[in-house]
């Protein structure tokens, strides 16, 4: 193979962080016009350089028009026109090294099955059909190829939002999450194509667009969608550092299968002062961890497999209340937590608690209101916080806690 002289184009640090990630799947929620497409065109071209003859990398977009935009930009970015041939009908670039870069649409997911793909970018992922991701995943199986997802935030009721939350929560080294706001890009020195400071364009867009639209398109912040029982804005106003005060109560959610074992302690002011979140623990470890907590009233989820654990701990400590989650009891305790959040009665730190609170949903059913995390995500922190608040409120009412 002849020697190839390649110089990577200039990229901003926030772009390089994504491209250089060792994770097999990177999920990026980003502002509009911050160089998502440009940087990932560079990455896909570099992946194509690694391919042998007739091996393919793909760019998948929601529509033909969007796929054509990326196809044309890729051709324009390759300075040496003799280095590739292009098929305009099939939107395929064949490099002189033999590797192919194909630009597909996810409009008909069944058309994506069949090939072996060595790397892929899914563009505007929040606007692609979930079935397109299923098909794409199958094409990466034999090659163990990487896939980079990019897109704007588009509400919570789409598969890509849930995939991003999975990546954001951690626990799977194959996934990495990135978020780029317009202000991040402006701070890095991004300018508009006519040379104006990007910050000026952001402020103009802020004036022109509804707040919810601006937040999704420029701040990569999800709009509430009306399905969150706490309120995204109310959650944000409850954020505070972990308190240094001693705990006056605990809420404990026991891990089931792939869930997390969570302990949340509140101080006398209702602020989180103790936070434990663990997975893949033994029942012996869980039991001993709880028994080692300082004396304070605690509520333990005793639903299902948690019942014998809670019963055993109650035999050792007199400050234990067992709580069984039913649809009715969960509705009541979550409505209590919602009241506490909306009245700023409690406070909790950034991180897993906040993330789960924002993901949490309610749905009206024939039998009442169903509260839960979206499929594939966790609500252990929410349940633990709700239990802690329940005990804290009861202790206040009975004079067991004084805030003075």
What pLDDT score was predicted for residue 389?
97
> Which tokens is 378 given?
């966790």
386: enclosing H helix or E strand: helix 380-397
Greatest CA separation for the chain: 82
The residue behind tokens 């009721």 is: 157
* Nearby residues of 207 by Cβ (< 8 Å), 6 or more positions away: none
What pLDDT score was predicted for residue 367?
60
Low-confidence ranges of the chain (pLDDT < 50): none
How far apart CA 235 and CA 257 sit, in angstroms, is 28
Sketch out the chain's domains with CATH numbers: 13-219 (3.40.50.300), 232-398 (3.30.420.240)
**Per-residue buried b or exposed e for 181-200, using 16+ beta carbons within 10 Å of the residue's own CB:** bbebbbeeebeeeeeeebee
Three-class DSSP category at 139: helix
Task: Tell me the pLDDT tens digit for each residue of 228-273.
Answer: 888 888 999 999 999 999 999 999 999 776 678 999 999 999 999 9
Cross-strand bridge partners of residue 371: 362
What pLDDT score was predicted for residue 228?
81
Three-class DSSP category at 366: coil
* Nearby residues of 396 by Cβ (< 8 Å), 6 or more positions away: 403
DSSP 234-247: HHHHTB-PPP-SPP
Distances in Å between the Cα of 401 and the Cα atoms of 296, 318, 383, 396 are 10, 17, 22, 5
CA end-to-end distance (rounded Å), the chain:
78
């Amino acid at each position: 193979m002849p020697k190839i002289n390649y110089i990577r184009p200039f990229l901003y640090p926030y772009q390089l962080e994504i491209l250089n990630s060792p994770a097999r799947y990177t999920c990026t929620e980003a502002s509009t016009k911050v160089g998502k497409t440009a940087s990932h065109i560079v990455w896909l071209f570099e992946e194509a350089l690694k391919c042998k003859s007739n091996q393919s990398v793909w760019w998948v977009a929601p529509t033909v028009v969007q796929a054509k935009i990326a196809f044309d930009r890729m051709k324009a970015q390759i300075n040496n026109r003799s280095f590739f041939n292009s098929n305009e009908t099939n939107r395929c670039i064949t490099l002189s090294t033999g590797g192919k870069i194909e630009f597909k649409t996810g409009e008909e997911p069944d058309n994506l099955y069949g090939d072996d793909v060595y790397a892929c970018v899914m563009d505007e992922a929040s606007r692609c059909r979930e079935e397109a991701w299923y098909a794409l995943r199958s094409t990466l199986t034999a090659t163990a190829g990487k896939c980079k997802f990019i897109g704007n935030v588009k509400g919570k009721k789409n598969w890509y939002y849930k995939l991003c939350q999975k990546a954001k929560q951690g626990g799977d080294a194959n996934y990495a999450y990135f978020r780029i706001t317009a202000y991040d890009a402006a701070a890095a020195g991004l300018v508009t194509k006519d040379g104006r400071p990007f910050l000026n364009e952001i402020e103009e867009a802020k004036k022109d667009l509804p707040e919810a639209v601006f937040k999704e398109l420029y701040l990569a912040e999800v709009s509430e969608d009306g399905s969150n029982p706490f309120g995204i804005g109310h959650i944000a106003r409850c954020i505070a550092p972990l308190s240094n005060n001693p705990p006056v109560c605990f809420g404990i959610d026991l891990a089931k299968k792939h869930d997390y074992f969570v302990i949340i302690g509140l101080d006398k002011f209702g602020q989180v002062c103790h936070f434990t979140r663990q997975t893949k623990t033994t029942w012996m470890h869980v039991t001993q961890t709880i028994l080692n907590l300082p004396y304070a009233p605690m509520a333990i989820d005793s639903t299902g497999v948690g019942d014998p654990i809670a019963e055993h701990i109650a035999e050792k400590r007199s400050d234990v209340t067992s709580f069984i989650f039913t649809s009715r009891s969960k509705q009541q305790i979550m409505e209590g937590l919602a009241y506490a959040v909306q009245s700023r009665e409690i406070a909790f730190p950034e991180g897993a608690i906040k993330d789960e609170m924002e993901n949490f949903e309610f749905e009206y059913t024939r039998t009442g209101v169903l509260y839960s995390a979206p499929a594939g995500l966790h609500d252990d922190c929410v349940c633990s916080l709700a239990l802690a608040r329940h005990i804290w409120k009861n202790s206040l009412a009975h004079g067991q806690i004084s805030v003075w």
